[in-house]
């Protein structure tokens, strides 16, 4: 197997994991705090307050520490550079996607989840079939890459595989760039994207995110699930 040319150090793993864990903790706490009266704006405020309380007051993603999409904007793909939180209420049935990007110094977190609101409460076990299918499909994709990807896999190969899986499973890729993730770099401009024909190997970067953003063909809702990954010394893919 070709060597991993940019394997992360133990320090990098530990510090990036702290930032990622801060995002995951906020995303774990938010569901019980979301009510039918909330909006993208109020949910983003709650997320930012919790990140700041955890020591992560900055973001690497322009000035967008928390990107929240719901309701009529569920399927909109927008850059953090242009994002403006809306004031549409969640209501009693909705899909809420929250994407957090905390940073401390050179260490990034990047984590997104979609939450289902049914009967006025966020639930991990939705009844609506479209909700079930969307969440299950993204969970399955993330489980598959842990077994499939190797350090020599290129960003372009992962792009092609993911988009074939999306199409064959009856979904549409909603990302405005068409990609499904990016490397975790020292600056936004240095990122490598999981996009068509990118020959850079996954093992040539220390970390990368995988974040397919999809809608069922003919469906109403846009789902996203994002985590950060890296290869260990044995070449096995690990979740940060």
Give the CATH number of the domain where residue 188 resides.
Answer: 3.90.230.10
Please tell me the pTM assigned to this model. Answer: 0.94
Give the residue numbers spanning the domain of 220.
Answer: 10-239
More confident residue, 7 or 119: 119
Mean pLDDT, the chain, whole residue set: 94
For residue 233, tell me if it sits in a domain.
yes
pLDDT digits (tens, 9 = 90+) for 138-174: 999 999 999 999 999 999 999 999 999 999 999 999 9
- Asked, for residue 199, whether it belongs to a domain, the answer is yes
Instruction: Tell me if 3 is assigned to some domain.
Output: no
Domain count, the chain: 1
Of 159, 161, 149, 219, residue with least CA distance to 193: 159
- Quote the pLDDT of residue 5: 60
Q: Quick check: is 2 in a domain?
A: no
Residue closest to 212 by CA, chosen among 195, 187, 188: 195
Residue 4 lies in a domain: no
* Domain-located, residue 28: yes
Determine the average pLDDT of the residues in 19-37.
97
């Amino acid at each position: 197997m070709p060597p991993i040319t940019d394997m992360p150090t133990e320090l990098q793993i530990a510090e990036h994991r702290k930032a990622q864990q801060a995002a995951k903790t906020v995303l774990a706490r938010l569901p019980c705090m979301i009510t039918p009266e909330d909006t993208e704006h109020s949910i983003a405020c709650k997320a930012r307050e919790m990140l700041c309380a955890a020591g992560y007051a900055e973001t690497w993603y322009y000035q967008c520490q928390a990107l929240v999409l719901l309701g009529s904007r569920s399927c909109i793909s927008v850059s953090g550079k242009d994002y403006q939180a809306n004031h549409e209420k969640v209501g009693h049935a909705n899909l809420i996607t929250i994407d957090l990007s905390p940073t401390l110094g050179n260490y990034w977190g990047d984590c997104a989840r979609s939450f289902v609101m049914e009967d006025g409460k966020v639930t991990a076990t939705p009844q609506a079939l479209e909700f079930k299918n969307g969440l299950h499909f993204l969970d399955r994709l993330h489980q598959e890459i842990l077994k499939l990807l190797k350090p020599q896999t290129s960003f372009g190969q992962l792009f092609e595989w993911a988009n074939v899986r999306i199409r064959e499973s009856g979904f549409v890729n909603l990302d405005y760039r068409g990609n499904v993730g990016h490397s975790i770099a020292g600056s936004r401009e240095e990122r490598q994207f999981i996009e068509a024909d990118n020959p850079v190997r996954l093992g040539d970067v220390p970390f990368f995110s995988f974040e397919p953003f999809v809608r069922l063909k003919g469906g109403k809702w846009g789902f996203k699930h994002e985590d950060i990954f890296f290869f260990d010394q044995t070449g096995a893919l690990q979740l940060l």
